[in-house]
Amino acid sequence: MKSLAAWRTWAVGAVVLAVAAALLVAVGPEGAGAGRADTASGHRWITDRQGRALVLRGLSTASSAKEAPDGMPWIEEKDVERERRALGTNFVRFLLQWRKVEPSPGTYDTAYLRQVAERVRWYGERGYHVLLDMHQDLYGPGVGGNGAPKWATRTDGLTSAATDPWELGYAEPGTVRAFDRFWGTVEGDGRDLRAHYAKAWRAVAEHFADDDTVIGYDLMNEPWGGSVQGPAFESGPLARLYQDCIDAIRTVDRGHWLFVEPSAIGANWGFATGLPRLEDPRGDGDEARIAYAPHLYPLPMDLGGGYTGDAKGQVDATLRAWREQTEKTARRLGAPVVIGEFGIDVGLPGAMEYVEKVQRMADDMGAGIAYWSNDPGPWAPWDAGMKPTRLLPVLDRPSPRAIAGDPVTFRWDAADKALTVSWRGRAGMRGDTEIHLPARHFPEGGRVEGGEKRSWDPKSRILTLRSGPGAHSVRITPRA
Ligand code: IDC
């Protein structure tokens, strides 16, 4: 049994590496120069109520919610405060579980949603934007995963064994069948399950429709097609489910952003996705609010490797391919981008260089980030004893938080200790540009080159710049 599992791991790894190699050759070398977060090129931004472009920087909270009987992540309010102080983040991807939202068919657990709302408030009081993520891995606890309720798990007697790494569980017969039943791609239909899922989302949206701390809803973590894969899955059952969820949510909530993910297998490694453009029936001619939130786990890292040796070249090639595919898909969807997950065991060789590289890429792309995850331990900015890890100073990095207009570029140059931000102000724009300057790099605050009126709050470490219409460009260096 053991050797079969080992063989299977090896075989899957080998196939995947071969596909990856083929893809990387096809994509070729990097294009010239750094990218621009440029609105003129059709790039879109997630905006707040004042219409400011948001630069979302934060972590997922938390994997521990998957198994917890009450579905709550490990955090208490003081941990949210710690995270804000330590990292100055303004964003959290908060894990929900369908099993908790709808514990029995058609019954929504409002006590659970209230507990979620309490945590959302902890974040909101500290200036955060919260993305509610309906998380699943391996379908649900009925087949060894998390997410779906047991009553919604149909396996026709097939079973699933535990695997190492956990991702291989996606190929276990019971798990494949549970997905096939959910998507309705095997005989027996699963229309009722998909309808339940969309209605569960409507129940969540009804609860949070008026909550301004919530920025949006991540409709399904890492969708898996079961026995139907690739574009056949993404443009078929997955797109239909997303559209059903969007339509259901919009009956009760016209404001929040709806985040969609591609099929994780492939897209996480920089492969193309077949996800089609979706309709957002907000009404009154209001602009669609659909965001694209793919995950990024270059294959050597998905298999537990670091950013070193031969793997480094492969990871770099994956990052280029991933960016190209992500931008292509985002244009097709008319969606701004948030890196919904990326993360690594911080003790692996080259791990910090990798994290910094992804952060620079996100800045260049004008993409948000939710690092995976804030669970104390080997991947987090704090270890199991809550002592800072090597990751903490790497995530604690200056950047704009909100831009009053259309961002053009922003960049943190660590060697020069200079943050440059440029944008075009729009007439009638309310609100100011806000820039986070961590004590680590700006102990006495920032010296600003540029004519904008400014104010500095040493407590939140937010520099506020007032700016009217027209082009703006500022360079901020540490005040002596
Ligand atoms: C991982 C957790 C791990 C848990 C596993 C299965 O870190 O403790 O055993 O899930 O639930 C993803 C998933 C995310 C994973 C993460 C890291 O969305 O849930 O968390 N990952 O493996 N996709 C790629 C990586």
pLDDT digits (tens, 9 = 90+) for 312-323: 999 999 999 999
Fold for 399-480, please state it: Immunoglobulin-like (2.60.40)
Q: So what's the pLDDT on residue 301?
A: 87
Q: Which of 87, 91, 82 is nearest to 61 (CA)?
A: 91
Q: Summarize the confidence of residues 273-282 as an average pLDDT.
A: 98
In which band, very low, low, confident or very high, does the pLDDT at 15 lie, cut at 50, 70 and 90? very low
Question: What is the spatial distance between Cα 176 and Cα 174, in angstroms, rounded to a whole number?
Answer: 6
- Ligand 1 atom nearest residue 375's Cα: 7
- What distances in angstroms separate CA 353 from CA 80, 86, 349, one per listed residue? 26, 20, 9
Q: So what's the pLDDT on residue 303?
A: 87
| pLDDT for 39 beyond 50 | no
**Distance between Cα 158 and ligand 1 center (Å):** 24
Q: Summarize the confidence of residues 405-422 as an average pLDDT.
A: 96
CATH number assigned to the domain with residue range 4-27+56-396, chosen from the 4 options 3.50.50.60, 3.40.228.10, 3.20.20.80, 3.40.50.300: 3.20.20.80
Ligand 1 pocket test, pick from 93, 175, 220, 372 with the greatest ligand atom count within 8 Å of Cβ, gives 372
Q: Summarize the confidence of residues 331-355 as an average pLDDT.
A: 97
- The 10s digit of each residue's pLDDT in 52-83 is 999 999 999 999 999 999 999 999 999 999 99
Q: So what's the pLDDT on residue 145?
A: 98
**Distance between Cα 73 and ligand 1 center (Å):** 14
Contact 404, 424 (CB under 8 A): no
Question: What is the spatial distance between Cα 94 and Cα 127, in angstroms, rounded to a whole number?
Answer: 15
pTM (2 d.p.): 0.93
Residues of the chain with CATH 2.60.40.1180: 399-480
- Pairing type for strands 433-436 and 399-403 reads antiparallel
Residues of the chain with CATH 3.20.20.80: 4-27+56-396
Contact 260, 219 (CB under 8 A): yes
> Ligand 1: residues within 6 Å at CB?
63, 66, 137, 146, 166, 221-222, 295, 297, 341, 372
Mean pLDDT of the chain: 92
3-state SS assignment for residue 103: coil
| pLDDT for 464 beyond 80 | yes
